[in-house]
A and B are shown apart, each in its own frame.
Chain A
């Protein structure tokens, strides 16, 4: 992806105008815990203003106060010079301040147009006019350069990226002068992100002020002219993007330098690792070459075809690809959630094809799902119950042993929580993800499948997840990681598999560049690149 240069152009101009939004001394506490203290921020028309900080730094709270979801305790919010206080999200919309929230807010069984105009359906006389609604939606989508989305499609039928874009279109449709976006790219990958970039820039050119919250620093630098850093509910500083770089920004966010963002490999632990890796079926005469923990050959199902791969003990293999290329489906197939129905699958050199997650767990496979809230956690149950979830279900005999170890494993993962009885819904994203990891580590899996393991979690928690992956590899376990964040795939993987259209498009060695990955992931569509075969080092390892 090319770096989109608009910083200078928009940087000088708008500053002289009256700010569209001024926040002064905003303070908010929940149950006596201050989550936002004396936060101030100024947004000019046409400015893209990045808001960064670790999870729990107060970014989401700030967004939600501006959106009218929460009420502030003190402080002032000025919209074009006028003091406002919203008690309901709709008041914010009507005042020209729209928010795109982190969670998807579409009704799956309603059309795109019905979703966008929900709550203010255009009428003709007494009756809602579908014709007007669809026409207005088509115009809106066209004006954002996303005319390929049809107003009459059901939201359910759209891809994740398209749904995200429809949400932004919905925010725009309120004639918003200010749009705040909370992690708009969390669910998107490469080319989809650049589509979003285009929309953000179009909006900025129209004079819309944009508050852009993201954990992806690269996007912040690509898009934003000004960056505000939050930490522990306070503003650390606001600076022009040009005066900052990755290192200085991360230092401001965490308050300490992160020297090794991606931790180094750990030495293998022979005792734990290679012994268990040597399955009973290890071929004689190949004593030096360990048996792959997982081996697929020509495997496929409705969504996948001709998958061949090997996962060796102690290896971290990254799986890259566009959204919808079959990355998640590959993990689900291995995990038996949507099993393969052709080709061969071997675990420890023995044919095995789990037909349900339960069988997969019994084979020593763990899957940390992409969507921790929907598939990873029981949000209204306690930390302890969540952590014991898999053990209780599959290996009930081990429950009491694991229960004694839970507190220990939480402290290794640096889980920050009040106590073991706290409901996980009150934890930050990073801590929730650690609970999911703890739940799976409790069954001592041999093959760990990770789907977007660091989505929506802060820098500190990310590093903790990376360290854990290294630790698992050192113990001789196999890690298969799907991620949309290419730096993460490149920084952590021993090998990189790239998927496209449900097939493996190729394999790249550690240290591949983002360009090489994208070239495989997008096929021959990248202009001016070599044919894909050149960079493919062999589809089946």
Chain B
């Protein structure tokens, strides 16, 4: 009698949240992306143009790559329970170092790339050491680091600097059909990070530290290691974004990162992708969905020639609504306190 009544009750509780409650946040992100795609193709069609033309698809994908690099790194940092506000300055710095060292010589490219990424890694290392060692919250640590780099850039570079050789510029310009090489590189990085998160110890530890630092420590996880790894990878990916921008522009620029607003936009993409801002839960795949949504919105609004300030309004609305939806879901899907699974039947008092 009682054993049978508990089963339908549990079912009822699970269904109470409705359709959204049964989807993972990643599925919701891609559902929203699909809706944006459909709405976009209709809106673009009203202006007499084709949303799915190779040129337009290429434009959208190009829009995903720079933000994609940075947002993948930001995902790691947020998952570990920190934040990185210095990414846009690292991007600018890497573009300057890259283009500067290249000085229009193809032979210098490997050295330039190595130096730009190496310096990015050192910045990430310092961020990680400050956060993990000095126990300064990532928000403040990376804000400070960003200001330091910003000051350095403003005093030493008055404008664009250096020159990328043609061979390096091709990276930003060529593609396989409508898919730009840069997007493929970004996706390759995403795949590597995905593998790291789910199939290596350091990846598991990043989730654990973000979920609960003390639990991780008590379980024998080297907490500083996970924090530092996340920050280093994040900065290196920001550096790669900087190199990509140098390849596209042909020069390095001290303001290329900040003009893109990549610091806050990358955090927004991560959160839009369903990662908890507090850390410990989320995915790179979700983040890519968030990046794609932003890229499509940008493209649609450009094609429709919407006032650029209006773009920010739309982005803002999307972020707030998305997070509100996730918050609602966490309330709905808390575990039922009774009618659970039926293991009680196995316990004989």
Binding site for B on A (CB under 8 A): 1, 69, 88-90, 93, 101, 105-110, 114, 118-121, 123, 126-128, 148-149, 156-159, 162, 170, 190-192, 194-195, 302-303, 322, 324-326, 328-329, 500-502, 518, 522-527
Q: Is the CB of B349 within 8 A of A190?
A: yes
Selected from A88, A123, A195, A524, the residue in CB contact (under 8 A) with B2 is A524
Q: Is the CB of A118 within 8 A of B349?
A: no
Give the 3 A-B residue pairs with the shortest CB-CB distance, closest first.
A90-B220, A119-B220, A324-B338
> CA–CA, A325 to B9, complex, Å?
12
Q: Is the CB of A302 within 8 A of B205?
A: no
> Which residues of the partner chain B approach A158 to less than 8 Å between Cβ atoms?
335
> Which residues of the partner chain A approach B349 to less than 8 Å between Cβ atoms?
1, 190-191, 194, 518, 522, 525-526
Interface status of B192 (Cβ within 8 A of chain A): no
> CA–CA, A328 to B216, complex, Å?
30
Residue from A119, A123, A195 having most chain B Cβ neighbours under 10 A: A119
List 5 A-B pairs, Cβ < 8 Å.
A105-B218, A121-B201, A322-B344, A523-B2, A526-B349
> CA–CA, A170 to B215, complex, Å?
12
State whether A126 and B200 are in contact (beta carbons under 8 Å apart), knowing that A191-B344, A303-B338, A324-B338 are contacts in the complex: yes
State whether A107 and B1 are in contact (beta carbons under 8 Å apart), knowing that A192-B347, A325-B338 are contacts in the complex: no
Q: Is the CB of A523 within 8 A of B1?
A: yes
Q: Is the CB of A109 within 8 A of B344?
A: no
State whether A93 and B220 are in contact (beta carbons under 8 Å apart), knowing that A118-B204, A303-B338 are contacts in the complex: yes
Q: Is the interface of B mostly helix, strand, loop or mixed?
A: helix
Q: Is the CB of B337 within 8 A of A328?
A: yes
> CA–CA, A110 to B1, complex, Å?
35
> CA–CA, A120 to B281, complex, Å?
20
Q: Is the CB of A109 within 8 A of B221?
A: no
> Which residues of the partner chain B approach A128 to less than 8 Å between Cβ atoms?
198-201, 203-204
Q: Is the CB of A118 within 8 A of B216?
A: yes
Nearest neighbor of A105 in chain B, beta-carbon distance: B215
Q: Is the CB of B201 within 8 A of A302?
A: no
Nearest neighbor of A518 in chain B, beta-carbon distance: B349
Interface status of B261 (Cβ within 8 A of chain A): no
> Which residues of the partner chain B approach A119 to less than 8 Å between Cβ atoms?
205, 208, 216, 219-221
Interface status of B135 (Cβ within 8 A of chain A): no
A-contacting residues, B333-349, CB 8 Å: 335-341, 343-349
Q: Is the CB of B337 within 8 A of A110?
A: no
> Which residues of the partner chain B approach A1 to less than 8 Å between Cβ atoms?
349
> CA–CA, A90 to B219, complex, Å?
7
A-contacting residues, B174-217, CB 8 Å: 195, 198-201, 203-205, 207-208, 211-212, 214-217
Selected from A88, A107, A501, the residue in CB contact (under 8 A) with B6 is A501
Interface status of B53 (Cβ within 8 A of chain A): no
Chain A nearest CB from B220 CB (Å) reads: 3
> CA–CA, A427 to B190, complex, Å?
48
> Which residues of the partner chain A approach B221 to less than 8 Å between Cβ atoms?
118-119
Nearest neighbor of B196 in chain A, beta-carbon distance: A127
Q: Is the CB of B207 within 8 A of A107?
A: yes
Selected from A109, A126, A148, A501, the residue in CB contact (under 8 A) with B280 is A109
5 other contacts beyond A128-B200, A324-B339, with CB at 8 A cut-off?
A: A114-B204, A119-B219, A127-B200, A128-B201, A159-B335
Q: Is the CB of A191 within 8 A of B211?
A: no
Q: Is the interface of A mostly helix, strand, loop or mixed?
A: loop
Nearest neighbor of B276 in chain A, beta-carbon distance: A109
> CA–CA, A302 to B16, complex, Å?
8
> CA–CA, A159 to B340, complex, Å?
8
Selected from A90, A118, A191, the residue in CB contact (under 8 A) with B347 is A191
State whether A110 and B205 are in contact (beta carbons under 8 Å apart), knowing that A105-B218, A324-B337 are contacts in the complex: no
Q: Is the CB of B337 within 8 A of A303?
A: yes
Selected from B220, B280, B344, B348, the residue in CB contact (under 8 A) with A107 is B280
Interface status of B5 (Cβ within 8 A of chain A): yes
Residue from B199, B207, B221 having most chain A Cβ neighbours under 10 A: B199
Chain A nearest CB from B276 CB (Å) reads: 8
Interface status of B13 (Cβ within 8 A of chain A): yes
> CA–CA, A156 to B336, complex, Å?
10
Selected from A118, A170, A328, the residue in CB contact (under 8 A) with B208 is A118
Q: Is the CB of A109 within 8 A of B281?
A: yes
Nearest neighbor of B221 in chain A, beta-carbon distance: A119
State whether A118 and B2 are in contact (beta carbons under 8 Å apart), knowing that A108-B211, A159-B340 are contacts in the complex: no
What per-residue 1/0 map shows which CB atoms of B1-22 lie under 8 Å from chain A?
A: 1110110010001001000000
> CA–CA, A326 to B339, complex, Å?
10
> Which residues of the partner chain B approach A322 to less than 8 Å between Cβ atoms?
344
> CA–CA, A118 to B212, complex, Å?
12
Q: Is the CB of A121 within 8 A of B2?
A: no
> CA–CA, A322 to B195, complex, Å?
43
Q: Is the CB of A527 within 8 A of B348?
A: yes
Q: Is the CB of A501 within 8 A of B208?
A: no
Nearest neighbor of A145 in chain B, beta-carbon distance: B346
Q: Is the CB of B346 within 8 A of A148?
A: yes
State whether A89 and B217 are in contact (beta carbons under 8 Å apart), knowing that A109-B211, A109-B280, A109-B281 are contacts in the complex: yes
> Which residues of the partner chain A approach B214 to less than 8 Å between Cβ atoms?
105
Chain B nearest CB from A128 CB (Å) reads: 5
Chain A nearest CB from B264 CB (Å) reads: 25
> CA–CA, A195 to B343, complex, Å?
11
> Which residues of the partner chain B approach A126 to less than 8 Å between Cβ atoms?
200
Chain A nearest CB from B204 CB (Å) reads: 5
> Which residues of the partner chain A approach B204 to less than 8 Å between Cβ atoms?
114, 118, 121, 128
> CA–CA, A492 to B204, complex, Å?
48
> CA–CA, A194 to B339, complex, Å?
20
> CA–CA, A105 to B204, complex, Å?
16
> Which residues of the partner chain B approach A148 to less than 8 Å between Cβ atoms?
341, 343, 346
Chain B nearest CB from A413 CB (Å) reads: 30
Residue from A69, A114, A501, A522 having most chain B Cβ neighbours under 10 A: A501
Chain B nearest CB from A349 CB (Å) reads: 31
> CA–CA, A108 to B203, complex, Å?
17
> CA–CA, A93 to B343, complex, Å?
30
> CA–CA, A107 to B6, complex, Å?
27
> CA–CA, A527 to B345, complex, Å?
12
